[in-house]
Each structure stands twice: as structure tokens, then as C-alpha cells.
A and B are shown apart, each in its own frame.
Chain A
């Protein structure tokens, strides 16, 4: 059993360990790596991914997937930008609301019409992207600078970027929901064994409904930050965000088959991938090598592959115990 525990410990803390090592590496190698400017800009930028990954994490823990988050964020940014002249809060509400609408449709498709999550959210990915382009008339939509909408993405609060605060609050709430509410435990139970969960009398469909709804809302919120940070609604942004989110969730040790997962490790996964990107940029800055964005993608892809392979190895050890009779 001790070996088993060691393996499961590695599974849950491996990503944190890797994150620490990467930060140490960066600190030792680059002068301004742990400087205030670098830290805040990394956090400001990655908070959008963090929000999307949080929603994805809950969806994946139920054994599902949400491919629509990137388009939903783009749609959210366009809607928020269009609404921003009415006031910062109206813009915020409109962006999140647009995300919740997409989430609602996903939830209905998956739980009521029993369409496979992959297919349902793939369709919504296309639909949301098209809607964003239509609303924006195929160009970026400039936000209102008078209403204070841009401070959501660009200002600091207590010396810390506001998007980072938003992400922190979202992760704390997510952590509490997962660990200290019956709905949160139900998320893991549904992903672990949906039939058993139904037979146990838990509202499996309601739980699944909630995760898709929430994922849409979080993607919409990420879109609001996007529009606010860059001063414009971006109908063509968000491409590939869903893949980044899935990668962060998987790196965080959440099983793609559902049933096992952690909010904290997902955050660590987001930071790990984000900082890896940051480190590669610094490395380019040193001038020894010059890695193009394409090479960076290759490296991130390889990194992800290593993590997934390790995870498969670890979980196949775990399943030996399931059949031990």
C-alpha cells in the first residue's frame, strides 16, 4: 500500500513539484524572471486561461469535455465590448451572460438530448464562433474607454492585477464547491461511475447540467477580461484555448475519463504551461537560441505527451487494485 500511496502522491503533487522546479530554473537563469513586472504580466495574461481551465476541469471530472470554451470566450469578448458603453458592470454582465447562454445550450444538449459531449460542444464551438463574427461584423470591436470597462483587465487592486484576483476568487470558490458541497462530490462520483451514481440516488443529470452551464459562464468571464485587457472584443481570438485548457487540466492530474481531479492542481497546470511559455520567451531573449512560436508549440506538445503517458502508467497501476480479488 505504501508504494500505492507514493504513486498517488506523485500523481497529485507532481505538477506542483514540476512548477517549483521550473520557477527555480527561471529564477536562477534569468535576471528579471521573478521581477514584479514579469510576475504580474504572466498572471494577468494567464488568468483568462485559468478561468477557462477551471470550467473545463469540472466538465472533465464528470467524464465529459467542453470544446466550445474558446469560441465562447471570443463571443463573450465581443458581446462585452458591444455592451461596454452602457457601463463597466453592464459589459461584464453581458459577456458572462453570453457565456452562460452557450453553457445552457451545451447543458441541454448533453443532459436532455443525450448528445455526446464531444459532438454537442463541437457544434457549439462552431456556432458560438460564427455568432461572434456576425455580431462583430468580422472585425474587432473597440470597447468604450469612458465607462471604465478597461480597468477590469488592466488595473491593479492592492498592487495585484484585477484579472488575477478574479481567477483567485474563482478558484477558491471552485475548491470549496468541489471539496465541501455534495454537488462537488457528485461531480467526481458521476465521472467515476455514472450508473452507480444514479443507483445511489444522486441527481446525475443536474450535476452534469451545472458543470456545462458553469463552464460557459467562466469562458464568458474570460472573454470579458480579454476584451478589457486588449481594449477590443476579439471575434477571432480564443482559437485553441479549449486545447490549452484541456492540456492544463490533464497536466494537473485530472483523468480524462473522469472521476479523479483537483482544482488546485489544475491551477498549477495552467501556471506550469504559462510559465513554460514565459521561460521559452526569456530563453529567446538571451539570444543563445531562437525558438519560433512553432517550436514553442512543439515543445509544449511534447511536454503534454510526457505527462499523459506518465499518467496512463500510474493509473494502470491503480486499476490493478480495482480487480484485486
Chain B
């Protein structure tokens, strides 16, 4: 007698349309969960979108699937069989090809090698270059790319390199091709070519997992969508059953109806304290990531950048700070033309930049709190090369007090502090420079709830004292409640600007999703 449970199993097995099913996937890094109980299923010949905010777990999920990471728990069934791989090589051999987010190719080697490495054509046991060159050319022809496949990859532009990556993945006659943000470096024409290839693959019965932050693209080419948040799968739906607002709110985890109450420590600010325009930027552009961004920040104002991942927020901040140089556009700072060539220009003008990635770009973990705080100030504090210890100690102790940094003293190593206190040390580093504008990229990411409130309150206090703040945050409530003005970026274009009173969740999310700013009336309706 079959038990009820067996019936379920039989029903599952009969679903022959399923190519891949991942269930209950857990993955932890140093005890911190990156995936908890995530699930994902792809049908045969289906183009399936996988979306989520930064840190939602998409990339981890993909790397678990391709054997780059080993999962801690969960089940994977691929092509009707349990799937256990321990390396990308094995995954490839079983029919899963991946195009990773950063183009993962070898720049010094030829296009042919980049396409054929790992499955080389041979004759008499040696490589058959002639056949490999022909194969590479034939694969690229599918994308309308004509290039000398014998030349090293680094001689070609990013779009061609991306096409080479895709050609490589497809060349493995895969059953499943995973594309992690394949369009981020392509122009419209190239994207159209890529979509044709995806449709072609679909007709051949190949499944495609498509990771992208450009919502329009999903509707153009995908059949279904799976949305992840905080390491979990929150929703799977057919593309024609979910609208863009639905996608955005599922990604951000906000019910559209929800509104009242403060989720952050930004209490209402006194707007009288806002002064004159300090920084203004017009039509900044550098590449596809930043196409046309205009915004301004006034003294004593918190200006917020909202937008999905890949909207160009961090990239815009890098332009302002002189890390990258814009291709077009103008900036003024304090009423003068501002054209920074390098970060020290921006620092000299009175700017500070707390980057998104504290660990790799900010703190020096083995140095003390005092040393970390003084790094940027060192040149100013030293008299003919010798550091003025007394002045240094005074400043450090003042900031430890003012910012409420919990540490045993100025000599404690920064690595021993919590995330929130590390962030405060970084804030202290820039504040010690006495800046007029502070750029904060994801100031509360990876910081526990309590410390988050402290940092937010601190930002508010600093603005009240006249500091101009440009705050980038992926947390909607942080931008909406914290910023005096919200600029919404979408696919490299600043599409909307809201004053504090107009910046409702509906309005901001709708601008993030659709691009066109809804009229105030629409938002109010």
C-alpha cells in the first residue's frame, strides 16, 4: 500500500519538465548564514530570472550549484538525478555552464584559448589549433561578432569580452546556462543579439538562469522569476503574473501597504538648518553604468541615493570623489567648478568617502583604533615628517568620546571591534579631516540593529551641525526617513527627485521600478 508520502514522491518524479531543483539549501561562512533554506527550480527549455538585492544570496546559490562552494545542507536534483559536484569542472561536465558576473577570463590569452580551454580539440594527442580557431570563430558568428580569435583578449572591448564569455559557456553544449548579469557591460544592440541567442538556446531545449537588475529585460526574455532576500527564496512567479512593483517590493521585503511608524533612528529633522547648495552635479556619465546623473547636496542636508543594485549609485559617488573620471558632465563644489583628478583632490576640497566595503577598502584590521583614525590625517599632523603624538591623541580621544566608540582605548586593534564600532572609527577618520561633505556608501550594512540606530542618529547630528551628507543605501526606510531629499537612480540615470514629504515608499519604489517619476498626484492617489 503506498503511503500518502509516496504519492507525493511519485507526483514529483512525474514532473518530467523539471531540469533542476534545489531545496533547503544552507550555506554559512564563518558561522554567518549566506543561504538558509533557499530553494530554486528550473524547467527544461525555460528562461528563469533570479533576482534579489545585494547580499540576498544569488551569487552564493549559483556558486553552490556549480560546486564552487560546498553546501552545508539541502538537496540538489539535476536532470532527474541527485547532483553532487565539488568543482566547477564537474558541474561543466554534467552540463551546467556559468558566465560569472565579473568577466572571468584570462586577459593575456587569445580569444580561442579563452573559449576552448578545458575542452581543447586534439590531433595525435596534441592541440589542434586550426580546428580550435575555426570553432571559436563559428561560436562568435552566432553573436555577430567578428574578431581575430588569435589576438589576446585584452585587446578587445568589454562587450566583445562578454560575448567571448558567453560563447565559451555555450560551447560546452550545456543543458543549463547560468548568466550572472550578462548585460551589465553591453549596449542595446548587443543586448538584442544576446536575447536572440537566449531564445535560440531555449528552442534547442537549453535552460537559462538569468540574473539581472534591469527589470525591463526580465520581461523581455524570461518565463519565470525567483526572488531572493536575506538568503531565502521569497517568491517564484511567472513573469506575466507579476508587475515591476511586485518585483521591487518582494526584493526589498516591503509590503506596499505598510507605511506608518519609524523603522530607523532618523527622527524628523529641522529643515531650517539646511543651507546653500554645496555640491551640484549635472549630467554625469562614464559608461553604461552611469549615463546621465544629476543631483545636488546642500550644507546641513542629507541627500539620499535610492536605486536597485547596478543603478549606478556607488559609481556616481566614485566620480564625485575623483576615483574615476567622468566622460561627460559638470560638477560644482562650493560655487566653483569641481573637476577632481584623484581622491586627494576631493579630500583637499573637503570631502570624505566611507566606502561600501569596510573590510577591503576602509579599515586596516591589525592597526589600532588611533592609527586607523589618523591614517588620512597623518600628513597634516606631522611636523617635518615627525608625527605630533600629543595632537593625535587629543583628536582620537575626542572622537572616541563624541562618536561613542566602544573600545578599551585608542590602542585596541580595530579587528577586535564590532562592525558598528569599526564603522564609527571610519567615520571618525573622515570627520577628523573636518570635511564639508561626507559620502556614505551603505553606512549601516552588516551592522547589528542597535548599532545601526546609533550610526543613523550620528549622521543626523552631523548634518544638524552643518555637514553635507550624501548617503547611499539599499535599505528603503533608511533613505526615505533619513534623507532630506531622495534622488532615485535607475540604470545609470537619475530618474526622480523627492523632497522629504513626497518621498513615500510607493513613490520611490515606483521610480526605482519604472524609471519615470510618478506624478505627486499619482503617488497620493
Which A residues have a C-beta under 8 Å from some C-beta of B?
A: 1, 4, 8, 176, 179-182, 185-186, 188-189, 192-193, 195-203, 255, 259-260, 318-319, 321-322, 324-325
Q: How far is the CA of A196 from the CA of B154 in the complex (A)?
A: 14
**7 cross-chain pairs, A with B, having the tightest CB-CB distances, nearest first:** A201-B89, A192-B106, A196-B104, A180-B126, A325-B158, A259-B108, A322-B154
Q: Which of B88, B106, B120, B158 contacts A201 (CB 8 A)?
A: B88
Please tell me if the beta carbons of A193 and B127 are within 8 angstroms of each other in the complex.
no
Which A residues touch B314, using CB under 8 A?
none
Which A residues touch B287, using CB under 8 A?
325
Which B residues touch A203, using CB under 8 A?
89
The interface bits of chain B over 81-98 (1 if a CB of A lies within 8 angstroms of the residue's CB, else 0) are 000000111111100001
Q: Which of B68, B104, B113 contacts A185 (CB 8 A)?
A: B113
Which B residues touch A193, using CB under 8 A?
104-107
Q: Decide if B109 is an interface residue (CB 8 Å cutoff).
A: yes
Please tell me if the beta carbons of A188 and B108 are within 8 angstroms of each other in the complex.
yes
Which B residues touch A8, using CB under 8 A?
152
Q: Which of A197, A200, A319, A325 contacts B185 (CB 8 A)?
A: A325
Q: Decide if B155 is an interface residue (CB 8 Å cutoff).
A: yes
How close is A324's CB to chain B, nearest CB, in angstroms? 6
How close is B231's CB to chain A, nearest CB, in angstroms? 22
Which B residues touch A4, using CB under 8 A?
155
Q: Decide if B157 is an interface residue (CB 8 Å cutoff).
A: yes
Q: Number of contacts between A and B (CB, 8 Å)?
A: 85
How close is A89's CB to chain B, nearest CB, in angstroms? 28
CB interface residues, B 439-483, toward A, < 8 Å: none
How close is A181's CB to chain B, nearest CB, in angstroms? 6
Q: Decide if B118 is an interface residue (CB 8 Å cutoff).
A: yes
Known interface pairs A188-B108, A200-B104, A319-B154; A181-B113 also in contact (CB < 8 Å):
no
Q: How far is the CA of A180 from the CA of B106 in the complex (A)?
A: 18
A-B pairs with beta carbons under 8 Å apart, 17 shown = A180-B126, A181-B127, A182-B120, A182-B127, A185-B117, A185-B120, A188-B106, A192-B107, A195-B104, A198-B88, A199-B104, A201-B89, A201-B90, A201-B91, A203-B89, A260-B108, A325-B158
Which A residues touch B143, using CB under 8 A?
none
Which B residues touch A176, using CB under 8 A?
126
Q: Which of B107, B117, B129 contacts A186 (CB 8 A)?
A: B117
How close is A265's CB to chain B, nearest CB, in angstroms? 15
Closest chain A residue to B66, Cβ basis = A199
Which A residues touch B120, using CB under 8 A?
182, 185
CB interface residues, B 96-134, toward A, < 8 Å: 98, 100, 104-109, 113, 117-118, 120, 126-127, 129
Please tell me if the beta carbons of B158 and A318 are within 8 angstroms of each other in the complex.
no
Known interface pairs A189-B109, A260-B108; A199-B100 also in contact (CB < 8 Å):
yes
Q: Could you say which of B88, B108, B113, B126 has the most chain A C-beta atoms within 10 Å of its C-beta?
A: B108
Q: How far is the CA of A274 from the CA of B89 in the complex (A)?
A: 43
Which B residues touch A189, using CB under 8 A?
106, 109, 113, 117
Q: How far is the CA of A187 from the CA of B116 in the complex (A)?
A: 15
Which A residues touch B68, using CB under 8 A?
198-199
Which A residues touch B108, using CB under 8 A?
188, 192, 255, 259-260
